A and B are shown apart, each in its own frame.
Chain A
Amino acid sequence: DAGVTQSPTHLIKTRGQQVTLRCSPISGHKSVSWYQQVLGQGPQFIFQYYEKEERGRGNFPDRFSARQFPNYSSELNVNALLLGDSALYLCASSWAGTGTEAFFGQGTRLTVV
């Protein structure tokens, strides 16, 4: 069975640009969460979606937005990129709406120059 898949794996963007990251959850999983992991730190929660509805939002600016599609895949959008947005962006999926037993993808490494 395929795990959580994220695309692209690596991305280089310029300050001020916009970026869209994509995530396909494990088949049967209806919950998708997004995390930002800066080098040397633990993942920080950005969003959680369940059945296409936003259930949680972390302390990130409005430049960050996300959505979940009818097939439960998800996109994370970041506008007006800053150098500080450079990080590993992780998507996690769970069968439970509460988010337990979350499985992470390999992440998208975003570098902002």
Chain B
Amino acid sequence: QQQVKQSPQSLIVQKGGISIINCAYENTAFDYFPWYQQFPGKGPALLIAIRPDVSEKKEGRFTISFNKSAKQFSLHIMDSQPGDSATYFCAALSQETYKYIFGTGTRLKVLA
């Protein structure tokens, strides 16, 4: 029940295309859902986050879509660029337990 399932494991997108990464969770106590971007040898960088009372949040080229009833959320990267090539992690936080549960990661490659 503590797992966050992330898919796909890897993704190849053409420059200018849309990258879509999906996550699903079971624990209804989760109440904060961030996405992190990680480059090799670096720590994860916070991209965008959403709370369950909102169905969509957009920041620049990054959009989170959230479906509370299905317990799913996704990251959309519009106009994907080669510089977006990185590993993306979804996460879920229960503010009762103070710990993030991370997905297994999606390795994104954007072809020039």
Contacts and interface: CB of A to CB of B under 8 A. Distances in A.
A31 B93 CA distance: 14
Nearest to A49: B98
A72 B89 CA distance: 27
Contacts of B32: 98, 100
Given A42-B102, A42-B105, A99 B95 contact: yes
Interface of A: 4, 31, 33, 35, 40-45, 48, 50, 55-56, 58, 88, 90, 97-107, 109
B107 to A, nearest CB: 9
A101 B44 contact: no
B105 to A, nearest CB: 5
Contacts of B104: 41-42
B100 interface: yes
Contact of B99 (A40, A56, A105, A109): A56
Interface of B: 6, 32, 34, 36, 41-46, 49, 89, 91, 93, 95, 97-105
Given A42-B89, A42-B103, A42-B105, A105 B98 contact: no
A107 B43 contact: yes
Contacts of A90: 43-44
Contacts of B42: 106-107
Contacts of B43: 4, 88, 90, 104-107
Contacts of B98: 31, 33, 48, 50, 55-56, 97-99
B46 A56 contact: no
A11 B103 CA distance: 27
Q: Which of B45, B89, B93, B100 has the most CB of A within 10 A?
A: B100
Contacts of A44: 102
The 8 closest A-B pairs by CB, nearest first: A42-B102, A104-B43, A98-B95, A45-B99, A56-B98, A48-B98, A106-B43, A104-B44
